[in-house]
């Protein structure tokens, strides 16, 4: 039988081949390859999609978050609250800015930062909170915004996994003071290379981010700040304009697969399915399950031709990158328990007919060798 891939990145190109090829030719023939009409048009179209005022295209998602923090003047001596359960880029953005990431544990079933644990982590040095909409499910941002107001903090969304997600009817990326997006090829809105964007309704912030992405200059060769080279290139912007038109439809395909998994896997023993808080409308960047015998389950799926991944096997606080912070195992037990038991099932708008059924059948046929202790 044909293997079930974790994510198929070629089929999106095949489905959109004519439009993507036309976009390619348009850019090639324009003679303009960095920060031109395509980037400007994409920024406008994506801001509209999120209902926000300003979008600033940058090189990738990490840079989007980093430039926002820099544009807020956050740096050396400052602290930024981050989730323990996230991709390491969230923490790295804070470190790049020169500030200190201060980790906070998630709500276990929702995987996102627990608003009730944030206040205890706030100190006089705290400048911002960086919630992540992990796996495509929006974090519970309203209580976070109330805290931010009380303590005069900025809230920056890491929306890298949440293009099109909704929270109480509002769009991810337009929920807080600013947001960073990634358009890495595997994201729900994926470029055909690296790309990212900052989103905000704050004109002054957008203006600063726009300057910082381009060597700190508004006018060529006049540099008002020590900026970076992190620009959205024309080719990726042109591709993203094509793919943005399909975002809602492709997210709906993901949602149909997620509904099928939720229903079909609901009575599998020891398997924990993702929670669906009533305020959320997730876009299923990842479909996460948990199992006490995760490694055995993953091997069983692999043996039956189903590819899965783990998001993420090592939480940032235990990674070599943050060894200098001195955390050891046990420091953040919820994130560690998630890392030890999470498994991401095949998911995407091009998951083949019958593939989701195969995944379910293989999971149902799993018989662990040892019973779980829990
Ligand atoms: C992908 C991702 C990023 C970083 O995006 P890049 O474009 O790869 O730099 C940041 N945060 C999260 C949660 C991500 O998944």
pLDDT in tens, 278-292: 989 999 999 999 999
197 lines ligand 1 (CB under 6 A): no
Looking at residue 1, its pLDDT comes to 77
pLDDT tens digit string along 137-150? 999 999 999 999 99
What is the position in ligand 1's atom list of the atom closest to the CA of 133? 13
- The stretch 13-19 carries a mean pLDDT of 97
DSSP SS3 for 281: strand
- Nearest-CA residue for ligand 1 atom 2 is 160
Looking at residue 369, its pLDDT comes to 79
How would residue 81 be classed by pLDDT, with cut points 50, 70 and 90? very high
> What distance in angstroms lies between residue 204's CA and the mean position of ligand 1's atoms?
24
Report the chain's mean pLDDT, rounded to a whole number. 96
60 lines ligand 1 (CB under 6 A): yes
- Virtual torsion, Cα 257, 60, 47, 131, nearest 10 deg: 70
What is d(CA 104, CA 323) in angstroms, rounded to the nearest whole number? 17
Within 10 Å of residue 360's Cβ, how many Cβ atoms? 18
132 lines ligand 1 (CB under 6 A): yes
> What distance in angstroms lies between residue 364's CA and the mean position of ligand 1's atoms?
33
- Nearest-CA residue for ligand 1 atom 14 is 160
Cα–Cα distances (Å) from 262 to 275, 281, 284, 353, in that order, read 10, 15, 12, 17
Residues for the chain: how many in total?
374
Residue 293, pLDDT > 60, answer yes
86 lines ligand 1 (CB under 6 A): yes
What is the position in ligand 1's atom list of the atom closest to the CA of 90? 11
114 lines ligand 1 (CB under 6 A): no
φ, ψ for residue 56 (rounded to 5)? -120, 110
pLDDT tens digit string along 115-143? 999 999 999 999 999 999 999 999 999 99
Q: In which element (H, E) is residue 24 found?
A: helix 17-30
Residue indicated by tokens 């055995």: 296
61 lines ligand 1 (CB under 6 A): yes
What is the position in ligand 1's atom list of the atom closest to the CA of 64? 9
Query: Residues with Cβ < 8 Å from 25, sequence gap 6 or more?
Result: none
Residue-wise DSSP of 49-113: HHT-SEEEEES-HHHHHHHHHHHTT--TT-EEEEESSS-THHHHHHHHHT-EEEEEPBPTTT-SB
């Amino acid at each position: 039988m044909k293997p079930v891939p974790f994510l198929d990145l070629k089929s999106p190109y095949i489905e959109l081949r004519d439009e993507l090829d036309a976009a390619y030719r348009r850019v090639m023939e324009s003679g303009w390859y960095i920060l031109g009409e395509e980037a400007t048009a994409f920024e406008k179209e994506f801001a509209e999609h999120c209902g926000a005022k300003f979008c600033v295209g940058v090189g990738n998602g990490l840079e989007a978050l980093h430039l926002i923090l820099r544009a807020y003047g956050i740096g050396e001596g400052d602290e930024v609250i981050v989730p323990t359960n996230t991709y390491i880029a969230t923490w790295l953005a804070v470190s790049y800015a020169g500030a200190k990431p201060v980790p906070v544990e998630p709500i276990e079933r929702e995987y996102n930062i627990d608003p009730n644990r944030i206040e205890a982590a706030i100190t006089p040095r705290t400048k911002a909170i960086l919630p992540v909409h992990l796996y495509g499910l929006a974090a519970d941002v309203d209580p976070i915004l109330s805290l931010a107001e009380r303590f005069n903090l900025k809230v920056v969304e890491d929306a890298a996994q949440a293009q099109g997600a909704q929270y109480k009817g509002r769009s991810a990326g337009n929920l807080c003071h600013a947001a960073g997006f990634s358009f890495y090829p595997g994201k729900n809105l994926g470029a055909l290379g690296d790309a990212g964007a900052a989103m905000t309704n704050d004109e002054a912030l957008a203006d600063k981010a726009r300057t910082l992405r381009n060597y700190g200059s508004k006018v060529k060769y006049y540099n008002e700040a020590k900026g970076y080279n992190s620009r959205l290139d024309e080719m990726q912007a042109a591709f993203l304009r094509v793919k943005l038109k399909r975002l809602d439809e492709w997210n709906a395909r993901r949602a149909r697969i997620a509904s099928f998994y939720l229903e079909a896997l609901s009575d599998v023993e020891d398997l924990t399915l993702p929670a669906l808080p009533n305020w959320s409308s997730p876009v299923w960047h990842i479909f996460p399950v948990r199992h006490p015998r995760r490694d055995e389950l993953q091997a069983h799926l692999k043996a039956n031709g189903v590819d899965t991944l783990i998001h993420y096997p090592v939480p940032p606080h235990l990674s070599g990158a943050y060894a200098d912070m001195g955390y050891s195992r046990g420091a953040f037990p919820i994130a560690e328990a998630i890392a030890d038991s999470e498994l991401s099932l095949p998911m995407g708008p091009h998951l083949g007919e019958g593939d989701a059924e195969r995944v379910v059948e293989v999971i149902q046929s799993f018989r662990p060798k040892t019973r779980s202790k829990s």
